[in-house]
Structure 1
Amino acid sequence: MTARITPAEPPFPAGIQSSLDSLMRGKPPLVLFTTLARDPRLFQKFFAGGLLDRGNLTVRQRELVIARTTALCRSEYEWGVHIALFASQVGFDEAQVISLASGQPQDACWSVGDRLLMELCDVLHAHCTVDDALWQSLKSSFSDEGILELLMLAGFYRTVSYLTNALRLPAEPGSASFPSSGRS
C-alpha cells in the first residue's frame, strides 16, 4: 500500500525532533508521526490530544479500548502497532487478541471488567453515545475522571483510525496484522 501523503523527511524542526526523540526512544518514528510532521501545528495538536501517559486507567484498560476501537474502525495500521507493542505487556492472550479484532464482549476470554470496556467501545462505535444502563455500570467501576478518559480515548483513537485509514498508511515493520478470523 502506498501512502496518499508523503511523510516529512528529516531533518525535522527542533520541536518536532524533540517530541519524536521522546516518543520513539531511539527507534525510527512511525509513518503516522512523520506524516503529521509535515505541519508543525497539526503535529503539536495531535500530540496534545494523546492519552498514552499515566492517567485514570491502567495500561491494560487503555490498550483494550485502543485495540477494540481501532479494530472496529478497521485500522489495521494502528491496531497492529498497539498489539505488537502492548499485547504481551498487558497480558492479552491469543484468544483475547482475536476477540479484540473480531469477537464480542461476551466471549469467554474476558473478565467482567474487560467485557464492560468492550461493550463501551462497541456502543460508542455504533451509536456515538452511552445508554443509561451502561453508564451506571461504568459509574460502578470508574471515577468520573476515568469515564471522561475512556470517552476521550475511544474518540481520539477513532480519529487516529480516520487518519491511518484515509492516508492508507503502510504497516509498520514488526506490527501485527488482523487475525485471519478477523472481520473483513
Structure 2
Amino acid sequence: MPRIAPAEEPYPPEIAVALARTMPPGVAPLVLFRTMARNPRVFGKMFAGGLLEKGALSLRQREVVIDRTTARLGAEYEWGVHIAFFAEKVGFDAERIAATVHGPADAACWSADERVLLATVDDLVDRRTIGDTAWSALAAHFDEAQIIEVIALVGYYHTISFLCRALDLPLEAYAARFPDGHCPGAQTQQTK
C-alpha cells in the first residue's frame, strides 16, 4: 500500500476536470495524480507547473531528459509510465529504453544531441550543476530557451521522482518495469 491512500471518486470538481484533461480517454487517473489530489494546493501547483505541453524541445528530446532523470533517481513508477505512454511515439526501441536506465550517456544508439542531453542529466543528478564541459556541449546543440527547459525538466522530474519514491506508490499495472528489475546507482521501488 502507498503511504498515503490515493483519492477516490467522486473527486472535487476542479480535481475531476484536471484529471480528465490529463489522462487519455479510457485510462484511469494515475495513482500519483490521485495521491497528489489529497492536497489540492500542491495538486494545482503540480499541474500548473507541468512541462508536458509543447515546449522548446521536441517530444523525443523531452522524453530522453525525463526518462534518464527518473531512471537515474530510481523512480521506476514515473519512468515506467513515461515509457508506456511515450516510448513508441518517440521511436524508442528496446535498446534505447534499456539505455535510459543502464547505458552510458555516449551509447551509440543515441544521436549527438541526445548524448548531450543524457550527459547533462547525468551531470545535474550527480553534481547538482552542469560542469563546463557538459555546458559547452549543451550550448553547441541547444539554444538558451532549450537549455533552460532541459534544466527545468530535470528539476521538475527530480521532484516527481521524490514524490513517487517517498510516497511508495504502487507501480501502474500497464507501465514498463526497469530492465533487469533494477536501476544501478539508486535503490528502486519494489513491484507491489
> TM-score if structure 2 supplies the norm length?
0.92
Which AA in structure 2 matches 1:155?
G
The Cα shift of 1:110 comes to 1.2
The Cα shift of 1:181 comes to 7.1
CA distance in 1, matches of 2:4, 2:51: 25
SS at 1:106 equivalent: coil
Unaligned stretches of 5+ residues in structure 2: 185-192
Unaligned stretches of 5+ residues in structure 1: none
Identity rate, percent:
46
CA distance in 2, matches of 1:137, 1:20: 38
CA distance in 1, matches of 2:134, 2:177: 31
CA distance in 2, matches of 1:149, 1:77: 23
The Cα shift of 1:135 comes to 1.4
Asked if the contact 1:98/1:181 (under 8 Å) is kept, the reply is no
Q: Deviations for 1:12-61, whole angstroms, at most 9, x for unmatched residues?
A: 11111111110013321000000011111110011111100011000000
- Output the aligned Cα RMSD: 1.2
CA distance in 1, matches of 2:142, 2:183: 30
Which AA in structure 1 matches 2:145?
E
Q: Deviations for 1:82-136, whole angstroms, at most 9, x for unmatched residues?
A: 0111111101111111110111012121111111011001000000101122212
The question of 1:65 aligning with 2:65 is answered: yes
The corresponding residue for 1:92 is 92
CA distance in 1, matches of 2:111, 2:170: 33
The corresponding residue for 1:160 is 160
CA distance in 2, matches of 1:170, 1:12: 20
CA distance in 2, matches of 1:133, 1:14: 49
CA distance in 2, matches of 1:29, 1:181: 25
Greater shift, 127-136 or 112-121, is seen at: 127-136
The corresponding residue for 1:25 is 24
CA distance in 2, matches of 1:88, 1:19: 25
The corresponding residue for 1:137 is 137
Aligned length: 183
Asked if the contact 1:63/1:86 (under 8 Å) is kept, the reply is yes
Alignment of 1:2-151 (within 5 A): 2-26=1-25, 27-151=27-151
The Cα shift of 1:173 comes to 2.0
SS at 2:179 equivalent: coil
